[in-house]
Amino acid sequence: MATSIGDMPTYNMRNVLNKPLAGLALAAVVLFACCEFSCAQTATAGDSPQQRRGFGQPERGVYKARITPHWLTNNVQFWYRNDLRGDTKEFILVDADKGTRQRAFDHDKLAAALAKASGEEVKADKLPFSEIQFVGNGGAITFSAFSKSWRCDLNTYE
């Protein structure tokens, strides 16, 4: 039996969104579509599906996109590395108890101290290491650079 347009139920979008499940489903579809569009726009030839989906290294041009926390022994603080434009990076310390986020150390002072101790050129935004370890109740860090292990006192930078 044919029905006329006047016999067909009409749906007001507001009524559909008022239904919890329908609103959630709509939000999921929109979020999925946005993610797919974003991934398609940033994918380049030769990218693996994992890289296009957000696994592995960040896409070129995407910065501060990932946080890999390295928890300190007190389990309320962690550090992470931000990979930035131009192969630069910064190390950040977060105190979850206090709700603070700051640089893990003075990058300029550490670069100057490491350059002096190693005889190598060291730039504060391109430190020659990617991992650090806090030691001495957080008063010093250790790291590997120029095929050696180093310890830096964060009070004196020696």
Cβ(62)–Cβ(44) below 8 Å: no
> What's residue 62's pLDDT?
65
Rounded-to-integer distance, Cα 104 and Cα 100, Å: 11
> What's residue 86's pLDDT?
87
Closest Cα partner for 130 from 63, 79, 64, 76?
79
Distances (CA, A) of 5 to 9, 14, 15: 8, 21, 20
CA atoms in the 13 A half-sphere facing the CB of 136: 9
Read off φ and ψ for residue 67, nearest 5 degrees.
-125, 120
Token pair 């630069």 is found at 88
- Reading the chain (158 residues) residue by residue, the pLDDT tens digits are 454 445 545 444 444 444 454 444 444 444 444 444 344 444 444 444 444 444 455 456 666 667 889 999 888 999 999 988 888 999 999 999 999 999 999 999 999 999 999 999 999 999 999 999 999 888 999 999 999 999 999 999 99
